[in-house]
Amino acid sequence: MSLVVDEPRERMVGREAGPIIRPYAVTRGRTRPRGAPLDLVTLLAATGNAPDDPPALSSPQRRLLELCRRPSTPADLASETGLPLRVVQILLDDLRQHRLIQELLPPTTSERPDPRLLMRVLDELRRL
């Protein structure tokens, strides 16, 4: 058996391919958050606590923290920053662990949305 491993050729990267930095470089290689993953539409907001050690925050984390000054969701933040959703979830989890952001509402324990909320949505959709 040959010792030469058939290494995949580097593919040419064009402008369409997006950022050159590999997405998990900004999470320092982590592919999962430490805590339970944040729901895609969980509302998050900055707590107003000052970071203990500002330089410890990476540039994407600082950007996310700034964006969280207005309540936002991981899905919105991923779109806004252009970072992969999973990466955003990991970075947001870091900010949450440092008490720099928090969930606006207690996490839902129900698998089904509140029927009253669904009724409101139905009315709104019909009027759209």
Q: Which residues bind another protein (CB under 8 A)?
A: 8, 18, 23-24, 31, 37, 39-43, 45-48, 50, 66-67, 69-73, 75-76, 78-79, 82-87, 104, 108, 110-113, 115, 117-122, 124-126, 128
Task: Enter the DSSP assignment of 23.
Answer: G
Give CA–CA dist 40/78, Å, rounded: 9
Smaller CB separation from another protein, 1 or 54: 54
Whether 104 contacts 43, CB under 8 Å: yes
Closest approach, Cβ 51 to another protein, in A, equals 9
CB of 9 to another protein, least distance (A): 10
Angle at 122 between CA 118 and CA 127, to 5 degrees: 150
